Structure 1
Amino acid sequence: MFPGSDRPAISEVDLTLSEGRVLAILGSNGAGKTTLLRMLTTLAAPTSGTAKVAGHDIIRDGSAVRGRIGVVGQYAAVDEVLSGRANLELFGRLLGLNRATAKRRAEELLSQFDLIDAADRPVGKYSGGMRRRIDLAVALICKPDVLFIDEPTTGLDPVARRDLWAAVKARVCEGTAVVLTTQYLEEADALADDVVILREGRVLVAGTSWELKRLAGEPRTEVREPTLEDLYLQLHTGPAQVHPGKET
């Protein structure tokens, strides 16, 4: 329930997601995005209704669900004193990998997420973008079937946001199903196959990104001036990323 209200935090939400696809759950603060993710990941129990994740019921078979998913919350869940490599090896061991497999998997993920140079540095000294990447790497240590990400790029600069998008897309190409929450329309447009917009715990509208954009009116061409974000990306990645006056 919402604080001080009899209204359920989540009500009449019906979602379906297949492997290798991304579902974005959009909504303002308090719309119920995080509550929904907490229920789907067995961190909170629904008072009614049913849901299956990776073929397992979230209420009757929560342990099996947890064995098939990866979760990246809004805040870092890693040990800031340990290095990135040590965190990955630790989580691998906690999740049942033997020592050799945990070490091998840690090296694979450090390479995939471009963290080799920072592998032995304490996570507490990582930048915001690096911390999100190590969080994502930890969630993938056991190759989950479904990956849940709560507001993946909040607070990140444009380059870090783009790099995280690329990392998510790479996992999707490997067949992982991804459920992410976001407040950013451009993030949902860049990543999601399917989009659900929540308001006050209910589905306001759902469909593919293209379908929802069609609801806003007919296609149109917009000519815009370069933005400060364009300049930021140019300075960090080269002029090929910036197209002043480009039609979008």
Structure 2
Amino acid sequence: MIVLLPPSETKRAGGDGPPLRLESLSGPELTPMRAALVDDLVELAEDRTACRKALGLSASQDAEIDRNAELRTAATLPAIRRYTGVLYDALDIESLRGGAAARARERLVIGSALFGLLRADDQIPAYRLSATSKLPNGPTLAARWRPLLEPVLAKLAESQLVVDLRSGSYASLGRLAGAVRVDVVAEDSGGARKVVTHFNKAHKGRLARTLAASRGEPDDAAAVATIARRAGMRVERNDNDLTVIVPA
């Protein structure tokens, strides 16, 4: 099983790994696009006004531009430690031990606007680029990534089930037919439901932790739902679509 995560806008600073080595990242077929995007971001960082516009930043966020300027020389961290925020706090991979930690590192894959796909232990620097960023003088990130990512994702899914927890914008970078997809809804005491927005990432992070650490090896959506239910989650299934139901 692969649990496919979105990245996060927030990233841990610093690191203790060597500078970025694109050739050492998993998915070598993605290296040329990664290199092109790194070049684009480093060059764009020289023009702060253009960079703010492309990345949706304010002047108070210029430290993000500085990060991009140092992409080739900055220290790195494993991707699963680099990303922070609500989902990754709930995932809390660093608290896993033994076999659970090993399974999680093997199963977790992160979608990235800069790197395409990352395994948990791929070493990356901090950076700023979102799926919705609009780099100047070129096609959209979806148009650039999709022809490369979709064959990689399809190959990944040939031998194992993929649970896709990415948001819509990141899913658009590389679509994957047949993946198990997850929504989160809140249900009030009268049974009325609404889509969870603010806490969506937290619930997906808890589900990712449960699945990534599980001793089970599910091969369909029903088996995924069973693992989640055993962990105390309320889950409904409709073919390959799962709905996690939480109290309003």
Query: Normalising by the residue count of structure 1, what TM-score does the alignment of the two structures yield?
Result: 0.29
**Greater Rg by CA:** 1
